[in-house]
Amino acid sequence: MSVLITTEILGEHPVLTSVNTKLDLVNAWVRSGDGLVGFGEYKKFEVKGENRFKEAKTWWEERVSEFKIQNNVHGSGTGPILFSSFSFDPSEISVLVIPEILIGQKNGKSWITWIGDVKQPNLEKINTAPVSGEIKWQEGSISEQAWQSQVSSAINAIKSNKLEKVVLARDITATSKTEIGVRSLLQRLEIEYPSTWIFLVDGLIGATPELLVRLSKSLVTSRVLAGTIRKTGNEDRDLTLAASLAKSSKDLEEHEYAVRSVADALAPFCSSTNVPEAPFVLHLSNVMHLATDVTGVLNDSAKQSDIFTLIAQLHPSAAVCGTPAVEAKKLIVELEQMNRQRYAGPVGWIDANNDGEIAIALRCGQLSNDRNSIRIFAGCGIVAGSDPATEFAESQAKLMPMRTALETL
């Protein structure tokens, strides 16, 4: 028996508005005011293993086949939506969620999707989000000294020609006496980091600047970031720093590895790809990154390719793992001594046509089940020219978006 799923136009409506008083906000994907917000949980699927992307695709397509879809809006991101958050390592759990109710907004147009043979849910602006208590910070899995020692070991391995680049991550934990206000945290991140992708999928929450892959019909886009410098807050000084970042041999080397890994991964699927000759400097609130947008068009033989296939091909990229990937992953296991879970994994949404938008889960944290604590992460790309103290300072800068947002709730 098919399940009715309906999508209809709404009036002007902010995507982070609450829906009904009893449904929990469990999924979100917002950038510059547009995006998707899901309430309640219609179905959830957890999967792990080397075939997790293929199994996720099969599960989603089975669910879509069960739906009787009435989509009066049309277009990418309308109709039934699957929020996805994949683990970095296949041995860890990945999570897929279909929300009960979804609000979408794009280019001034808003819509609502709901599941079940019922009338359109009522929308009302309310403010029932919990107010977080005082945040206290604890050291994470790795101390500062131990992490810098890991970086030194990685540099030695690179200089011994075992690999070209490896990404090492670290974590810290925040605790609160009361439940951390998820809606308030999302809104704070959206205000402070409007050019990033703000996401929430089953307790993984953050503001990432890096798009792993967007697939819209046959057009493929991937935004690659590698090479970072911290902002000072002084406009003239930051312009000088941006110029130095664009000329930094260490950062350009790191960036080249990341771009090459993405371009090589997309090449078998595309009739044409466009890789700019030089990166641009992406300015965020607290840091600047070297960035490159790689684009491509699926070739005729790859028309059956969908976003699950592209995710499997692109993950893990050099931006979160290293080069060569196999050697980098081995070194991460050996040195990092930390479970990344879904940090640095693919996160985003997929529609019924298997198009979607998937980022890399960076600048993020994993909430505990009771939402009274959150573990936040940061990673740095290590190359031959890296310096342990400088890399630690960069990791501190990458932790700031989540730290600041939590401390100002």
Q: How far apart are CA 157 and CA 317, in angstroms?
A: 20
- The pLDDT assigned to 134 comes to 83
Q: Beta-carbon neighbour count of residue 320 at 10 Å?
A: 26
Secondary structure of 171-186 as H, E, C letters:
EEEEEECCCCCHHHHH
Q: Which residues pair with 115 in a beta bridge?
A: 5
Q: How far apart are CA 140 and CA 174, in angstroms?
A: 9
- The pLDDT assigned to 398 comes to 92
Please state, in angstroms and as integers, the Cα–Cα distance from residue 72 to each residue in 2, 99, 100, 320, 326, following that order. 18, 19, 18, 39, 46
Query: Where on the phi/psi map is residue 341: left (φ > 0), alpha (ψ -120 to 50), or beta?
Result: left
With contact defined as beta carbons under 8 Å apart, do 331 and 166 qualify? yes
- The pLDDT assigned to 379 comes to 95
Please state, in angstroms and as integers, the Cα–Cα distance from residue 168 to each residue in 33, 278, 319, 391, following that order. 32, 25, 11, 10
Mean pLDDT, 10 residues at a time, over the chain (409 residues)?
A: 85 59 80 91 96 97 95 91 97 97 89 89 58 81 95 97 96 93 91 93 96 93 92 93 94 90 92 93 91 92 78 92 94 94 98 95 96 96 95 94 90
Q: Which tens digit of pLDDT belongs to each residue from 127-185?
A: 455 556 689 999 899 999 999 999 999 999 999 999 999 999 999 999 998 899 898 89
Place of tokens 């296949």: 90
Instruction: Specify the CATH architecture of the domain 3-120+132-407.
Output: 4-Layer Sandwich (3.60)
Pairing verdict, β 94-98 and 43-47: antiparallel
Measure CA of the first residue to CA of the last residue in the chain; give whole Å: 45
With contact defined as beta carbons under 8 Å apart, do 26 and 99 qualify? yes
Q: Residues 225, 231, 237, CA angle at the centre, nearest 5°?
A: 120
Place of tokens 């879509």: 64
- The pLDDT assigned to 21 comes to 47
Q: Beta-carbon neighbour count of residue 372 at 10 Å?
A: 16
Q: Is 128 exposed, middle or buried (0-12, 13-18, 19+ CB in 10 A)?
A: exposed
Q: How far apart are CA 345 and CA 201, in angstroms?
A: 12
List CB contacts of 236: < 8 A, sequence separation 6 or more: none
Query: Where on the phi/psi map is residue 376: left (φ > 0), alpha (ψ -120 to 50), or beta?
Result: beta
- The pLDDT assigned to 124 comes to 63
- The pLDDT assigned to 2 comes to 81
- The pLDDT assigned to 126 comes to 44
Residue type, 168: L
Residue type, 398: K
**CA nearest to 173, candidates 208, 198, 136:** 136
Q: Which helix H or strand E contains 72, and what residues bound it?
A: none
Place of tokens 């938008």: 357
- The pLDDT assigned to 25 comes to 77
Would you give the DSSP letter of residue 75? S
Please state, in angstroms and as integers, the Cα–Cα distance from residue 332 to each residue in 256, 262, 314, following that order. 20, 20, 18
- To the nearest 10°, report the CA torsion of 9, 14, 19, 21: -150
User: Using N-to-C axis directions, what is the helix angle for 52-66 and 307-314, rounded to 10°?
Assistant: 170
- The pLDDT assigned to 19 comes to 54
Q: Beta-carbon neighbour count of residue 368 at 10 Å?
A: 15
Place of tokens 């960076």: 362
Residue type, 263: A
